[in-house]
Amino acid sequence: MTQTALRQDLNTRVEEVLRERFALHCTTAEAYGPEFAALWRAGADHALGGKLVRPRLLLDVHHALDPDAGDGPITAAVDIATQIELLHYAFLLHDDVIDGDLTRRQRPNLIGALAAGTPGISAQDSLHWARSSAILMGDLILSAAVMGFARADVPHETRLRLLELVEQTILETVAGEHTDVALSHGIIPSDVETVLSMSVYKTATYSFSLPLRAAALLAGSSRSAEETLQTVGRHLGLAYQLQDDLLCVFGDHRSHGKDAYSDLREGKETAIIAFARSTSAWTRIDPRFGAPDLNLADAEGIRDLLRECGAERFVVGLIGDQLDAVYALLAEAELAGEITSDAARSILVSASRLEGRQA
């Protein structure tokens, strides 16, 4: 099988495992009434729409680290990749509740879909019903993901290390989300350093470090290789998040999947904004930043100011720094014999395949 065919095959397997698991949950849910079954069906519908970037990253890197892995280890890797996708979906669900979002990838998210699907009750009650349902579905998926790690068909010692990894991941992701909420209310002052560490915790840990470390763990790599991959994941994840931030403000809005300038309308504390706050341009950006009725002219005005004050250039530079750090870490790990050059190349290829605003 060629590399591409193998990759395609593994992705299909992740999708199939996810589909089977949700089908089973939907059937089990019938016993608790039609509303609960409907919640699971809606959950399945939304969970299965993703691009599976985290499972792909894990499986690609696992293959690169252990190209001769047999059926057993590959099945275990597919299983853990599936749990990571579930974890991602659980985080999205609670994130959308906290942010008050009703859409994702330009279509209604679970909350939006449920709120629209309850005729005969007030809009306020519909929204409460939909958000409560999303909190509860998130709890189910979060515990299912942890339970999946706990049941991994690997030696007990490996399973304990996987559990430690997922525990650390959940802690950091929640800490990052908590800091994000604090920033949005001005409870923590916004500066570049705080925003960057928030992004690492909230996004990079579970989206990049987790799949990379899990791949290393399952491939039987050394602890030092795993630690290197954790750091590589942080830099890649930060680069990805910064790229995503740039796209929303400076990107071509016809080609990426998010409302134009939504970050500016929502007053999101990105690295772009944190930098701009430290410049004299901020007094001209501040009055309309985060205005719910921000129109296109306002947004373009802010965009131009963000460009003029150097925020775009600054963040482009930060992305370059992250990628430089990744190259240096991988080169060093290769030299030290921690990972093969094939694995290093695979990580870079996987990372470059990621697109912002869609994952």
The residue ranges that bind a second copy (CB under 8 A) are: 28-29, 32-33, 35-36, 39, 90, 94, 97-98, 118, 120-121, 125, 128-129, 132-133, 135-136, 138-140, 142-144, 146-147, 149-151, 156, 160, 163, 166-167, 170-172, 174-175, 177-179, 181-182, 185-188, 201
Give the whole-angstrom CA distance, residue 144 versus residue 17. Answer: 13
| 184 vs 279 by CB, closer to a second copy | 184
Q: Which residues of 268-302 are buried (b: 16+ CB within 10 A; e: fewer)?
A: bbbbbbbbbbebebbeebeebbbeeebeeebbebb
Question: Can you spell out the DSSP letters for 219-288?
Answer: TT--HHHHHHHHHHHHHHHHHHHHHHHHHHHHS-TTTSSS-TTHHHHHT---HHHHHHHTSTTHHHHTTT
In whole angstroms, the minimum distance from the beta carbon of 313 to a second copy comes to: 29
Spatial CB neighbours of 93, under 8 Å, sequence gap ≥ 6: 110, 134, 135, 137, 138, 141
Shortest distance in whole angstroms from residue 138 CB to a second copy: 8
Query: 16 vs 35, which CB is nearer to a second copy?
Result: 35
Residue whose structure tokens are 């504390």: 269
C-beta of 6: minimal distance to a second copy in Å?
Answer: 31
Q: Which is nearer to a second copy, 48 or 188 (CB)?
A: 188
Report which of 256, 244, 228, 199 is spatially closest to residue 326, judged by C-alpha positions: 228
Give CA–CA dist 313/310, Å, rounded: 5
CB of 67 to a second copy, least distance (A): 30
Residue 85 CA, chain-centre distance (Å), reads 9
Q: Which two tokens stand for residue 24?
A: 């089973």
**Nearer to a second copy by C-beta: 122 or 280?**
122
Q: At its nearest, how many Å lie between a second copy and the CB of residue 140?
A: 5
C-beta separation of 1 from 9 below 8 A: yes
Minimum distance between the CB of residue 234 and a second copy, rounded to whole angstroms?
A: 14
Evaluate whether 303 touches 333 at the Cβ level (below 8 Å): no
- Closer Cβ to a second copy, 171 or 328, answer by number: 171
Please state the closest distance from residue 301 (CB atom) to a second copy, in A: 26
Q: How many CB atoms lie within 10 A of CB 222?
A: 14
Q: Are strands 103-104 and 107-108 parallel, antiparallel or unpaired?
A: antiparallel
> Which CB sits closer to a second copy, 34 or 70?
34
Closest separation in Å from C-beta 170 to a second copy: 5
> Between residues 36 and 250, which has the closer beta carbon with respect to a second copy?
36
Q: Which is nearer to a second copy, 44 or 98 (CB)?
A: 98
| Shortest reach from residue 265's CB to a second copy, in Å | 17
| Burial zone of 110 (CB within 10 Å; 0-12 exposed, 13-18 middle, 19+ buried) | buried
Q: Give the N- to C-terminal CA distance of the chain in Å, as an integer.
A: 27
